[in-house]
Amino acid sequence: MNLQGKHIVIGISGGIAAYKIPSLIRLCIKAGADVKVITTTNALNFVTPLTLETLSHNKVYSDVFAPVNDHSTEHISISQWADAMVVAPATANIIAKFANGIADDALSTQFLSCTAPIIIAPAMNTQMLHHPATQRNIALLANYNNIQIINTGRGELACGDVGDGRMAEPEEILTYIEQALTTQDLKDKRVMITAGPTRELIDPVRYISNFSTGKMGYALAMECAKRGAQVSLVSGPVSETINHPNINIINVVTAQEMYDATVREFDQCDLAILCAAVADFKVEKMSEHKIKCNRQDDNNLRLNLIANPDIAAELGRCKSKQTIIGFALETDNEQSNAIEKMQKKNFDYIVLNSLKNEGAGFGYDTNQITIFNRQGQNYNFPLKTKAEVAKDIIDTILKN
């Protein structure tokens, strides 16, 4: 996450989920943001001012008329300072105040004076959430251009019930903050991304695969989602996780499954990013039972391999309006091999990285890339985190 230099106001109302907000403050500061906290009086029953001030490094604003306020219009000055405001947890009561323009405490006055993006994370009992008045208030707020409502989760609630009403976790809220502060230059675009390895089964317990972790593809999916795109992430088996409302994960295992998924999704997408490390070959006939090794007979196992379907070539062949970005991981003749692959597969761009570059390739959190396009231009980048690399790739595509 990157919130370097951003000013974030976190508003806390009086719900039990307030105990999670210190974690959100820490995440925002770790991402580079400056944080100021505003609370209702009831919120301080769940989390102390000392905790909030220690973590945010700023005084907590909880009373419009407190004598310790810096000046009499603090609620206005804080809203002018903010790049984004988050209200979490947002109780049914504070949501009702927001929806009806009531400003009778520090948090509600801040809300009414804030023109920056506002993210609201509701948290309440299931019956309160589903009451028609609460649903009306949430729907009303969701219609405002600068407000985004985070859907509640389902699970065990503080009252002991199991149902809707759980506040989103701090990590998810952080994602919404970053998206709110990111230019939505992919809004209304559909992006398909392939990520990770594929596995080609030899028998029920063995397979052919590679060292891909999916880190680069997942970073690209998050970058596109933050910029407003609806993302279909076709993922091979990886340990990476991702959570964003704009991302639909399609899990596959084999190259054939990835082929079927990408062909199905391709017609609806505007941009396809082929980042997966797809196995070129599969076993001609998988054994239905575990293959036993009889070492006493000194027998060798021979596997007959056949080619998998060529996903990149098929998408390049049938593309119409789509832009396709391919990837090339090379060890020799890097540039010529990458350009040849781009032309042969009918890509619009190709991203080259080399296993010769330390910190690039499979398994690393960093990558070093060169981007080539069909007009003969190339763009070189130094070693960066894969999140930064994803931003460089999308920036380059959108500028050309």
Query: Do 164 and 214 reside in the same domain of the chain?
Result: no
Pair (387, 356) in one structural domain: yes
Task: Give the per-residue pLDDT at 275.
Answer: 96
Least confident residue range of 116-125, 126-135, 147-156, 380-389: 147-156
* CATH, residue 299: 3.40.50.10300
Mean per-residue pLDDT over the chain, rounded: 91
pTM confidence score: 0.80
- Residues recorded for the chain: 400
Quick check: 214 and 277 in contact, CB under 8 A? no
The residue behind tokens 């508003």 is 11
Q: What is the pLDDT of residue 75?
A: 57
Answer yes or no: is 185 within a domain.
no
194 shares its domain with 171: no
The answer, yes or no, to whether residue 268 has pLDDT greater than 90, is yes
- Considering the domain architecture, whether residues 16 and 161 belong to the same structural domain is answered as yes
* In a domain? residue 285: yes
Q: Which of 135, 155, 180 is the last residue before a domain boundary?
A: 180
Which residues are 352's β-sheet partners? 328, 370
Do 74 and 199 fall within a single domain?
no
pLDDT number for residue 67: 56
Same domain, 78 and 219: no
Name which residue leads in pLDDT, 24 or 356.
24
Confidence (pLDDT) at 227: 93
Residue 2, in any domain of the structure: no
Q: Would you name the residues annotated as active-site residues? A: 159
The arithmetic mean of pLDDT across residues 186-207, rounded, is 95
Per-residue pLDDT averaged across 317-337, rounded? 91
- Within 13 Å of residue 354, how many CA atoms lie on the same side as its CB? 15
In a domain, 147, yes or no: yes
pLDDT at 237 over 90: yes
How far apart, in Å, do the first and last CA atoms of the chain sit? 26
229 pLDDT tier (thresholds 50, 70, 90): very high
Q: Is residue 359 one of the residues assigned to a domain?
A: yes
Q: Residue 354: pLDDT above 80? A: no
Residue 145 lies in a domain: yes
Do 386 and 237 share a structural domain? yes
Q: What is the mean pLDDT of residues 78-83?
A: 89
Give a yes or no: residue 1 inside a domain. Answer: no
Cβ count within 10 A of residue 48: 12
Question: Do 285 and 306 have their domain in common?
Answer: yes
User: What are the residues facing 68 on neighbouring strands?
Assistant: none
The last residue of one of the domains, among 123, 145, 180, is: 180
pLDDT at position 69 is 55
Residue of higher predicted confidence among 264 and 243 = 264
How confident is the model at residue 297, as a pLDDT? 63
* Cα separation, 329 vs 163, whole angstroms: 47
pLDDT at position 71 over 60? no
Residue percentage of the chain with pLDDT more than 70: 95
CATH code: domain of residue 78: 3.40.50.1950
Residue 24 lies in a domain: yes
Per the CB < 8 A criterion, the answer to whether 389 and 381 are in contact is: yes
> Do 13 and 52 share a domain, yes or no?
yes
- Structural domain boundaries, residue 383: 190-399
- Domain stops at, among 180, 213, 231: 180
Instruction: Give the whole-angstrom CA distance, residue 81 versus residue 65.
Output: 20
What's the distance, CA 231 to chain centroid?
10
Please tell me whether residues 345 and 392 are part of one structural domain.
yes
If DSSP states are collapsed to H, E and C, what string results for 250-312? EECCCHHHHHHHHHHHHCCCCEEEECCECCCEEECCCCCCCCCCCHHHCCCCCCCEEECCCHH
User: What are the pLDDT digits (tens) for 87-126?
Assistant: 999 999 999 999 999 999 999 999 999 999 999 999 999 9
| Whether residue 145 sits in one domain with residue 91 | yes
pLDDT recorded at residue 232: 98
- Same-domain check for residues 218 and 353: yes
Q: In the structure, what pLDDT confidence band is assigned to residue 295 with cuts at 50, 70 and 90?
A: low
| Domains of the chain: total | 2
Q: Residue 154: what pLDDT? A: 82
